[in-house]
Amino acid sequence: MGYAEFYRRSIEDRDAFWAEQAKLIDWQTPPAQICDASNPPFFKWFAGGKTNLCHNAVDRHLATRADQAALIFVSSETNEERVYTFRELHHEVQKMAAVLQSLGVGKGDRVLIYMPMIAEAAFAMLACARIGAIHAVVFGGFASHSLASRIEDATPKVVVSADAGSRGGKVVPYKPLLDEGIRLSAHKPDAVLLVDRKLAPMEKVAGRDQDWATLADKHLRTQVPCEWLDSTDISYTLYTSGTTGKPKGVQRDVGGYAVALAASMKHIFLGKPGETYFSTSDIGWVVGHSYIVYGPLLYGMATIMYEGLPIRPDAGIWWSLVEKYKVTSMFSAPTAVRVLKKQDPAFLKKYDLSSLRALFLAGEPLDEPTAKWISESLGRPIIDNYWQTESGWPILTVANGVEKKPSKFGSPGVPMYGYDVRLVHESTGEELTGPDQKGVVVIKGPTPPGFMQTVWKDDERFVKTYWSSIPGQQVYSTFDWGIRDADGYFYILGRTDDVINVAGHRLGTREIEESISSHPNIAEVAVVGVADQLKGQVAMAFCVVKDTSALTDEKARLKLEGEVMKVVDEQLGAVARPARVRFVTVLPKTRSGKLLRRAIQAVCEGRDPGDLTTIEDPTALQQIKDLV
């Protein structure tokens, strides 16, 4: 079956299509109804069915692949490497589940996980899934204030954490941040379970703080059966990055999520049971949930969990893991590729990458120069994909597991099965059906399995935020601009809230960035709109250059600035030309690779840039401050 027919069935014959996909997982009780769309936008998938994420990710593989690698933990920070088979993973998860139960955790209770990228973090997630507890993973090293707001919102019975993480060889103590977060929170957890890595000293709070190793020793042989959950029960909540004020907890179900991930491993990510999958993300983000922990294990694959940087001890570390563990599918972010682009290209030729079928990239728009460079360097398909914390799995990409389709540089691809993706006019709500018409990317309900159920504890906010912004219709807004070409491929032009208004002209910062990055000496660029008395806003560009010899003195800088402005002039017109182009050595980003555009804008306008705990390099914003 070709992809066009496969996609058509998923939209027009929804129940039959997803009933087939549901066979990819085990059900204790088969679903009575495939899609309950009676109360939009609260869509329920596989109602009446009972299943368990941990059973599907771990237990069901014991009969056929108990001694196969399941979780491969690698830390280039502490020089540790440990391979857990499915049998060993089953044992570790049961231990963690028994410890959580001994601390009073049961079905429906929340467990907040605030951990570095270590194996115990995956054990904790899977243990929660096993006993029906709801996990809320918060990115390790998040600031106390942000952590406190998430503790208040999730109201966890137990927090699982560690003494410290490590980043670029520098120890990041977690315990003081956690203690302060709990102090600031109105909600106090009953217990804190701590993994002691011996990286930083820890002061334990008597009666509250428990040592993981001590409690685990008491449960070496405790059997903890899987709790069979309703498909529509809550599996986890995950707070979206960049939220201000009250955190926004994306709430996910159990059965729909399991089916969506298993199907995506087959149709999108080209996985096969017994092979190895490597996602370079972090469990604090949705990619880590879907494609480090759950997706690969659901599909009977080994998954690599990596703590460290892509360039430490050298820029070959990731490729050495591809060779060693015969990785077939790899998932990373464009930012990571741009980091590698600045390193010695010899590292890409040093290792045998013949096992690798494709490199998947997501998390931010993939620019054409970066895509071309990595494609040519690896000699492997580079598959862009576009999705959100809210969606749980890709919205736009190419499903080469169904039918081989070419990727187009600059485009994440076409709508995935189950997603009825449309382009609409932002102020009239009119659907835009012609090629190259710019509109807001929206999804018509019902949203597919695996999509968010609602905002945790706030149905009204879910409807108001996501389903009420387009006039005259109830559709899910991605809050991204896009266009679609004649072949049906989408191009994402940036956030609808990243639009700047220059003297009445509405300009997408993403379009200006694309234009600037086509200059041969620009490695990276961020464009923000800055308040201007005369024009309302002006565009400011901050660029990292490939060859710094072009910046030897002020005259050379002005020459390069002029060249960059000329490129924008020629491609987009004078109205889109930035007011200034500034050159920096690094752009401010989160550790997951997202550009902190709002923080750059705040600095340019003399405002407080807000919580910057997840910033990768604190010197980046200082450079911008010095320039403006």
Q: Are residues 403 and 524 in the same domain?
A: no
Cβ–Cβ < 8 Å for 561, 555: no
Distance CA 99, CA 87 (A): 19
Whether 440 is in a domain gets the answer no
pLDDT for the residue numbered 536: 79
Q: Are residues 511 and 410 in the same domain?
A: no
Tens digits of residue pLDDT in 51-70? 999 999 999 999 999 999 99
Cβ–Cβ < 8 Å for 192, 208: yes
CATH code of the domain in which 536 resides: 3.30.300.30
Whether 150 is in a domain gets the answer yes
Annotate 298-318 with b (16+ C-beta within 10 A) or e (fewer).
Answer: bbbbbbbbbbbbbbeeebbbb
Asked whether residue 242 carries a pLDDT value surpassing 70, the answer given is no
Asked whether residue 280 carries a pLDDT value surpassing 90, the answer given is yes
Name which residue leads in pLDDT, 290 or 595. 290
Distance CA 111, CA 126 (A): 12
Confidence of residue 339 (pLDDT cuts 50, 70, 90): confident
Whether 225 is in a domain gets the answer yes
Mean pLDDT of 437-457: 97
- Out of 193-197, 232-236, 242-246, 405-409, least confident range: 242-246
SS3 463: helix
Quote the domain boundaries for residue 564: 503-627
Asked whether residue 505 carries a pLDDT value surpassing 80, the answer given is no
Confidence of residue 506 (pLDDT cuts 50, 70, 90): low
Mean pLDDT of 491-513: 78
pLDDT for the residue numbered 504: 67
pLDDT for the residue numbered 83: 98
Copy the structure tokens of residue 59: 């237990």
pLDDT for the residue numbered 142: 78
Whether 424 is in a domain gets the answer no
Q: Are residues 408 and 517 in the same domain?
A: no
pLDDT for the residue numbered 483: 96
Q: Are residues 140 and 23 in the same domain?
A: yes
Asked whether residue 511 carries a pLDDT value surpassing 90, the answer given is no
Residue ranges in 381-458 assigned as alpha helix (H): none
Q: Are residues 157 and 303 in the same domain?
A: yes
Cβ–Cβ < 8 Å for 483, 438: yes
Asked whether residue 95 carries a pLDDT value surpassing 80, the answer given is yes
Tens digits of residue pLDDT in 158-190? 999 999 999 999 999 999 999 999 999 999 999
The dihedrals phi and psi of 520, each to the nearest 5 degrees, come to: -60, -20
Element housing 192 (H / E) = strand 191-195
| Contacts for 408 with CB less than 8 Å, ≥ 6 apart | 485, 487, 489
pLDDT for the residue numbered 374: 93
What's the whole-number average pLDDT of the chain? 93
Q: Are residues 287 and 141 in the same domain?
A: yes
Domain boundary among 414, 433, 455: 414
Mean pLDDT of 232-240: 95
Confidence of residue 591 (pLDDT cuts 50, 70, 90): confident
| Contacts for 166 with CB less than 8 Å, ≥ 6 apart | 75, 77, 78, 116, 172, 199, 307
Whether 117 is in a domain gets the answer yes
Tens digits of residue pLDDT in 2-34? 999 999 999 999 999 999 999 999 999 999 999
- CA distances in angstroms from 198 to 75, 77, 117, 195, 305, listed in the order given: 15, 13, 15, 9, 20
Q: How many domains does the chain have?
A: 2
Mean pLDDT of 414-432: 96
pTM comes to 0.88
**Percentage above 90 pLDDT, the chain:** 78
Give helix 554-572 / helix 509-517 axis angle, nearest 10°: 120
**Percentage above 70 pLDDT, the chain:** 98
Asked whether residue 244 carries a pLDDT value surpassing 50, the answer given is no
